[in-house]
Amino acid sequence: MIDALSRPQSVAVFGATSEIAGSLLQRLRGPALRHIVLAARPSPTRDALAASLRTDTADVTVLDFDASDPDSHPAVIDAAFAQGDIDVTVIAFGVLGNQADFDADPASAVEAAQVNYVGGVSVGMRVAARLREQGHGALVVLSSVAGERARASNYVYGSTKAGLDVFATGLGDALHGSGVHVMVVRPGFVRTKMTDGLPEAPLSVGPDDVADAIVNGLRHQRATVYVPSTMRFVMSGLRHVPRSLFRRLPI
């Protein structure tokens, strides 16, 4: 259970090798955290993260996880909950891709949708059922402000995040009153390996900024978190820009 200081005793992250997930786990570690589940594809990054989190008081379970393979998800989630209740679960996987590549190869756009949206629904539904059964816990879903309004420069990615965002928001409403809290996190441009080489957008943040916002959001039971917080007002304005004008914006 999450203690009086809002510290979880157990955490499971799906897509654990993302830089945001790594930063978040470092912030959640401490004397209260006893069990950590890292679900991700096998890699040296996953092994190094597990080694950095394993202590005398905290055990780490490492699971092979492929977001693009929903048929494998039930077994992975069963294994994640095998040792008992999970206080905080995080959906942290996703692919950015490149719109030009999607245009040239529509199959790659389908693959991105399979990971970002279908994978999120597959994991989210199954985790939600487990959390409802245990009667407590939080599900953190990493979305993006890109899902709030499609842009010509990344409309495939934006559409996958829009679908995930609406799913997670509706899931939170469906779980209201069950003891389970769903929090949707909408970062702007995040400086990570995934965005390396792209022009840095205004109000850019780093993985640590997103991790800090998640911890604060969990502490205050937020339903939606923007990173940075000022992005909430930026997106509120952009949602209402006439389409004819929006098309001409350099975004």
Rounded to a whole number, what is the largest CA-CA distance in the chain? 59
Spatial distance between the Cα atoms of 26 and 5, rounded to a whole number of angstroms: 17
Closest CA to 31 of 4, 56, 64, 50: 56
Q: Please, where are the H alpha helices in 82-230? A: 99-104, 106-113, 119-134, 155-174, 207-219
Q: How many residues does the chain have?
A: 251
Q: Is 157 a catalytic residue?
A: yes
Cα angle vertex 7, ends 144, 73, to 5°?
50
Q: By the 8 A CB rule, do 194 and 211 touch?
A: no
Angstrom distance (rounded) from CA 227 to CA 189: 9
Is 23 in contact with 49 (CB distance < 8 Å)?
no
Q: Which of 117, 155, 157, 226 is catalytic?
A: 157
Enumerate residues 6+ apart whose C-beta is below 8 A from 63: 37, 38, 39, 40, 76, 79, 80
Reduced to 3 states (helix: H, G, I; strand: E, B; else coil), residue 69 is coil
- Contact assessment for residue 131 and residue 139, using Cβ atoms and an 8 Å cutoff: yes
The residues assigned a catalytic role are 157
